[in-house]
Amino acid sequence: MHGLIRLSRWLEIVCRVIAGVALIALLSVTIADVALRYLFRLSDGALDWSVVGSVELVSYLMLFSLLAAMAANVEKGQVVVEAFSHGLGDSLKARIAGVYLLGFVALGAVLCMGLWQSALSAAAHGEITQDLRLPMAPIYYVASGLCALLGVRCLLHAVLSGIFGHSVEPTHE
């Protein structure tokens, strides 16, 4: 059981790093794009600099940051409705949470498989992004991997909560 907890914590750290890097890159692209547009306006069009494909970059970076953040926060991202569970014991609440997390395992698996199929199709047909002309297959592969991490972390916490009735405490508040 302690090995599963350590594995979950390690995957949480990996997901947090991915989400943080993607979010910082997203903010950097946005700030650079806004600053360059402002320079364009200040110079009355003399400085025609811009971030090429900024909308595309921001959308894919947002995808990565959201998927990684979801995977990093599975154990503390659930809303508990006390009206339904206030009379239940802590052990039963933990088991119900474990069953609930199995739904996210299924969601992560379906998204992972769908994105993996999209990556295979994009690689076979040479699909590229519209503005930057980057290959789409690696983007789909990364998104598929992040969905797999979501499913794995949910499965770990479902097993820990559902089978053992043990709730894994979050590392950060």
Return the structure tokens found at 61.
């970076």
| Mean pLDDT taken over the chain | 87
- Residue 167 in any domain: the answer is no
Q: What is the extent of the structural domain holding 110? A: 2-162
Nearest to 150 by CA among 62, 67, 79, 61: 67
Mind listing the pLDDT tens digit for each residue in 34-75?
999 999 999 888 888 888 999 999 999 999 999 999 999 987
- Residue 173 in any domain: the answer is no
Residue percentage of the chain with pLDDT more than 70? 88
- In this predicted structure, the answer to whether residue 84 has a pLDDT above a threshold of 80 is no
Question: Distance (Å, rounded) from C-alpha 144 to C-alpha 157?
Answer: 20
- Residue 70 in any domain: the answer is yes
Tell which wins on pLDDT, 173 or 78: 78
Instruction: Give the model's pLDDT for residue 172.
Output: 47
This model's pTM is above 0.85: no
Instruction: Give the model's pLDDT for residue 54.
Output: 93
Q: With contact defined as beta carbons under 8 Å apart, do 74 and 155 qualify?
A: no
Q: With contact defined as beta carbons under 8 Å apart, do 150 and 1 qualify?
A: no
Q: How many domains does the chain have?
A: 1
- In this predicted structure, the answer to whether residue 101 has a pLDDT above a threshold of 90 is no
- Residue 172 in any domain: the answer is no
Question: Distance (Å, rounded) from C-alpha 84 to C-alpha 152?
Answer: 28
- Residue 73 in any domain: the answer is yes
3-state helix, strand, coil split of the chain in percent (to 5) is 75, 0, 25
- In this predicted structure, the answer to whether residue 26 has a pLDDT above a threshold of 60 is yes
Question: Distance (Å, rounded) from C-alpha 153 to C-alpha 159?
Answer: 10
Instruction: Give the model's pLDDT for residue 164.
Output: 53
- Residue 156 in any domain: the answer is yes
Tell which wins on pLDDT, 83 or 18: 18
Find the mean pLDDT for residues 131-147.
96
- Residue 171 in any domain: the answer is no
Return the structure tokens found at 30.
């946005």
Instruction: Give the model's pLDDT for residue 133.
Output: 94
